[in-house]
A and B are shown apart, each in its own frame.
Chain A
Amino acid sequence: MSATVGAVEAAAEASSVTRAEVCVLACAEAWRGDGEIFASPIGTVPNIGARLARATFEPDLLLSDGEALFVAGTWPVGDAPDGPVEGGIWYRSVFDIGWAGKRHVMMGPVQIDRHGNANISAIGDLARPTRQLLGVRGAPGNTVNHRTSYWLPRHTPRAFVPRVDIVAGVGYDRAAAAGPAATRFMDLRRVVTNLAVLDFATPDHSMRLASVHPGVTVADVVASTGFDLVIDGNVPQTALPSAEQLQLIRDVIDPRGLRRNEVPE
Chain B
Amino acid sequence: MTEDQVVAELRSGMTIGIGGWGSRRKPMALIRAILRSGLDDLTVVSYGGPDVGLLCAAGKVRRLIYGFVSLDSIPLEPHFQAARQNGTIVASELDEGMLQWGLYASGLRLPFLPTRAGLGSDVLQFNPELRLVRSPYGDSEELVAMPALHLDAALVHLNRADTAGNTQYLGPDLYFDDLYCMAADKAYVSCERIVGTEELATGGPGRQRVQRWMVHGVIETPNGAHFTSCVPDYDRDEAFQRDYVAAAKDPELWAKFQAEYLDGDEQDYQAAVARRAVEVSQ
Residues of A within 8 A of B (CB): 67-69, 90-92, 95, 98-99, 121-122, 126-141, 143-145, 166-171, 174-175, 177-182, 184-185
Cβ-neighbour of B120 out of A127, A135, A178 (below 8 A): A178
CB of A138 within 8 A of CB of B95, answer: yes
Q: Nearest 9 A-B pairs (CB), nearest first?
A: A141-B117, A140-B121, A68-B172, A135-B68, A178-B120, A182-B119, A170-B120, A132-B84, A181-B141
**Contacts A135-B48, A140-B119, A141-B118 given; 12 further ones with Cβ under 8 A?**
A91-B21, A99-B117, A121-B93, A126-B122, A126-B125, A132-B76, A136-B122, A136-B123, A138-B96, A141-B95, A144-B116, A168-B121
Residues of B within 8 A of A (CB): 21, 47-48, 66-70, 75-76, 80-81, 84-87, 91, 93-98, 100, 115-123, 125-126, 141-143, 172-176
Q: Given A132-B76, A137-B96, A138-B96, are A178 and B67 also a contact pair (CB < 8 Å)?
A: no
A residues in contact with B86, CB < 8 Å: 128
- Chain B nearest CB, measured from A144 CB (Å): 5
- Chain B nearest CB, measured from A153 CB (Å): 15
A residues in contact with B70, CB < 8 Å: 134-135
CA distance A179 to B143 in the complex (A): 9
A residues in contact with B94, CB < 8 Å: 136
A residues in contact with B126, CB < 8 Å: 126
- Chain B nearest CB, measured from A205 CB (Å): 13
CA distance A125 to B84 in the complex (A): 10
CB of B117 within 8 A of CB of A179, answer: no
Cβ-neighbour of A128 out of B87, B116, B141, B143 (below 8 A): B87
Q: Given A121-B93, A128-B87, A135-B66, are A144 and B173 also a contact pair (CB < 8 Å)?
A: no
CB of B69 within 8 A of CB of A134, answer: yes
CA distance A5 to B125 in the complex (A): 62
CB of A130 within 8 A of CB of B85, answer: yes
Q: Given A128-B87, A135-B69, A170-B120, are A180 and B141 also a contact pair (CB < 8 Å)?
A: yes
B residues in contact with A90, CB < 8 Å: 172-175
CB of A95 within 8 A of CB of B122, answer: no
CB of A181 within 8 A of CB of B116, answer: yes
CB of A167 within 8 A of CB of B120, answer: yes
Q: Given A91-B21, A128-B85, A175-B119, are A136 and B95 also a contact pair (CB < 8 Å)?
A: yes
CB of A136 within 8 A of CB of B120, answer: no
CA distance A130 to B84 in the complex (A): 9
- Chain B nearest CB, measured from A93 CB (Å): 9
CA distance A209 to B174 in the complex (A): 43
Most buried by B among A131, A136, A139, A179: A136
B residues in contact with A139, CB < 8 Å: 95, 121
CB of B173 within 8 A of CB of A140, answer: no
B residues in contact with A121, CB < 8 Å: 93, 122
A residues in contact with B115, CB < 8 Å: 99, 141
CA distance A22 to B130 in the complex (A): 43
Q: Given A92-B176, A95-B97, A134-B69, are A144 and B119 also a contact pair (CB < 8 Å)?
A: yes
CA distance A53 to B156 in the complex (A): 39
Could you name 14 residue pairs across A and B whose Cβ atoms are closer than 8 Å?
Answer: A90-B173, A92-B100, A92-B175, A92-B176, A95-B96, A121-B122, A128-B87, A135-B67, A136-B94, A136-B123, A137-B68, A138-B67, A140-B118, A140-B123
Most buried by A among B121, B142, B143, B173: B121
CB of B119 within 8 A of CB of A91, answer: no
CB of B175 within 8 A of CB of A174, answer: no
- Chain B nearest CB, measured from A202 CB (Å): 19
CB of A133 within 8 A of CB of B176, answer: no
Looking across the interface, which residue of chain A has its beta carbon closest to that of B172? Answer: A68
CA distance A170 to B118 in the complex (A): 9
Cβ-neighbour of A144 out of B47, B48, B85, B120 (below 8 A): B120
CB of A170 within 8 A of CB of B121, answer: yes
A residues in contact with B118, CB < 8 Å: 140-141
CA distance A121 to B122 in the complex (A): 10
B residues in contact with A128, CB < 8 Å: 84-87
CA distance A135 to B91 in the complex (A): 10
- Chain B nearest CB, measured from A85 CB (Å): 10
Cβ-neighbour of A136 out of B84, B87, B100, B121 (below 8 A): B121
Most buried by B among A91, A128, A129, A180: A91
- Chain A nearest CB, measured from B83 CB (Å): 8
CA distance A226 to B95 in the complex (A): 27
Q: Given A68-B173, A134-B69, are A145 and B84 also a contact pair (CB < 8 Å)?
A: no
A residues in contact with B143, CB < 8 Å: 181
